[in-house]
Structure 1
């Protein structure tokens, strides 16, 4: 089924605040660049709240100092309003679901949920992005995953907030869109939906950073392409458009040397390591079939937020902290959106 280009012209565009500049770039400068480039919203990233908190309050802010974080978030809300930017989501809420009842992990998850809801109230956003946990499966009680997410959805619903559940392709229990969609259906709350992502989808179902080719080699290439195409068609025919809350967009560099297939010393799996440092903007050196993912999402009828979330350490993955021309980079991202929309609508550039 073709996608009518005319229906794509008013898709709102957002940018993850963690994905522009480097770790020392002040948040106000990021917001200025994104606003001037024509972005309409941001995903507010928790590390940016912490770093701006130090700038705003004059001292380090601890991740669980929620009284101070509320003050910082309220100031960020005002800064975004001045720049006509909507805070459309708070992210990344991780390692929440599946802890054994009464464990320290479960207690910490509940405390963080309550604290992050306070931050959402202060900054004026209504959606919490939750990544499918990558806690090692042997540490989890899988029977708790659905009840935990039901509980979180109910906590959010009390404030008219939503839960955007994302498949992280290195997740220990839900690495692809089908896994997360089955969970969302089982949770069965009106305020839970999906955060889909071009990198997480193509990077999990088509690509593989542990192979010399950069793609999955356990099946022949033709079969792989067919399976991936079918998956994207199934996505378009399966998920109701109102159950997609946003599409995050990035590409991936092929790693210069295949990554070790074992978890690293911190327990992070290879696709997680790849995700952290090798994700450029589309059309800037990557190789994933991101247009096919975007088309799959658009075939559902979804016309909501396209949000750019990149972690560009360069082709070697070692240059995250380089100096950026923020205005130029933000404009490049804006131009990428125009090209992506044209290609989704059948206009090859």
Structure 2
């Protein structure tokens, strides 16, 4: 029993031999959790960190909003998002708090809407100015990885050319390399140019920098190619569920055989609720519906969601990657409106248990 409604997912795919049976290397995979998933941005950061450490996690993804909220309290003033001096000062204290709990700051997230703006545009200049500020913050945090989410701005002003995105990410990778930092690129399922894992990988390959890799995400991978919050059955339309499952399985196999292990920097893990009623533009005017789904309908694995989390995790493992597994959940229940679990320690312990179970399910899958 996996906790997933596998009847909705007739996924069939080829297998490869990089992971089979008992794999002792899986025990070496470190577990992390995004601070944005624990409580809210208004929840004191020290309370989040304590609960995370008590649950057994050894790392965090630090959400920028959590840093800003902490800076407001730590510096006893309102700190703007572009006050990089103030945020850098607060970042040093966040590093100290994490060190006291034996927590590694795995990544600063989420740096979004950076790449692909027209050359010499105000948007591009602002994006690189912001990048310099975030790098300053990273120094204070003593983290070496920046998560970059693919741009979801409209065309125009965003460029349709993938090579413009590559140009900018090369520049950012080089800026990060000067500090010994790396870039984890995530293809977001509602993004304009790069929305699938394959899009993300093609970008990373073209960037061709040793410090540029992928942030893979069970939600984004599935929402881009298989699941759809606007349909009654929660699946992409246009083809039969059987053909859809085969196509998705083939895509996952391609991922497992084409992405090198060293280019998988992070695997973000959550499940998803199938909305009680399909999401519609009338309900969320001027908003990308997959973004609404992302930020409100993402429970932990094995809580009753319907995504093939085990299958995706196995395919990522089949690349040979044993990098960080990190919980990134936004659970507003089946209607997307429920309050989050107020007991932080209860939630973080459930989150840690879900990763532990996922690891075991991957080892024994099919037995």
TM-score w.r.t. the length of structure 1 is 0.96
Instruction: Give the match for residue 89 of structure 2.
Output: 71
Q: Aligned partners of 1:182 and 1:342: how far apart in 2?
A: 31
Q: Aligned partners of 2:202 and 2:164: how far apart in 1?
A: 15
Instruction: Give the match for residue 278 of structure 2.
Output: 258
Q: Secondary structure at the match of 2:364?
A: coil
Q: Secondary structure at the match of 2:28?
A: coil
The answer to whether structure 1 residue 230 and structure 2 residue 266 are counterparts is no
Q: Cα gap change, 1:95/1:263 in structure 2, threshold over 3 Å: closer, same or farther?
A: farther
Q: Secondary structure at the match of 2:74?
A: helix
The answer to whether structure 1 residue 215 and structure 2 residue 235 are counterparts is yes
Q: Aligned partners of 1:127 and 1:232: how far apart in 2?
A: 25
Instruction: Give the match for residue 154 of structure 1.
Output: 174
Instruction: Give the match for residue 195 of structure 1.
Output: 215
- Partners of 2:341 and 2:347 within 8 A in 1: no
In the TM superposition, residue 22 of structure 1 has moved relative to its aligned partner by 2.2
Q: Secondary structure at the match of 1:178?
A: helix
Q: Aligned partners of 1:114 and 1:17: how far apart in 2?
A: 23
Instruction: Give the match for residue 132 of structure 1.
Output: 150
- Partners of 2:281 and 2:287 within 8 A in 1: no
| Residue segments in structure 2 that go unaligned for 5+ positions in a row | 1-15
Matches within 5 A, 1:1-349: 1=16, 2-3=19-20, 4-141=22-159, 142=161, 143-260=163-280, 264-265=284-285, 267-320=286-339, 322=340, 324-347=342-365
In the TM superposition, residue 9 of structure 1 has moved relative to its aligned partner by 1.1
In the TM superposition, residue 268 of structure 1 has moved relative to its aligned partner by 2.9
Aligned residues: 347
Q: Secondary structure at the match of 1:138?
A: coil
TM-score w.r.t. the length of structure 2 is 0.92
- Partners of 2:61 and 2:107 within 8 A in 1: yes
In the TM superposition, residue 7 of structure 1 has moved relative to its aligned partner by 2.0
In the TM superposition, residue 263 of structure 1 has moved relative to its aligned partner by 10
Residues 204-255 of structure 1, C-alpha deviations (whole Å, 9 max, x = no match): 2110001000111211011011111111111110000000101000111011
Q: Aligned partners of 2:81 and 2:248: how far apart in 1?
A: 39
Q: Aligned partners of 2:326 and 2:277: how far apart in 1?
A: 29
In the TM superposition, residue 23 of structure 1 has moved relative to its aligned partner by 3.2
Q: Aligned partners of 2:148 and 2:65: how far apart in 1?
A: 15
- Partners of 1:210 and 1:261 within 8 A in 2: no
Q: Aligned partners of 2:189 and 2:65: how far apart in 1?
A: 22
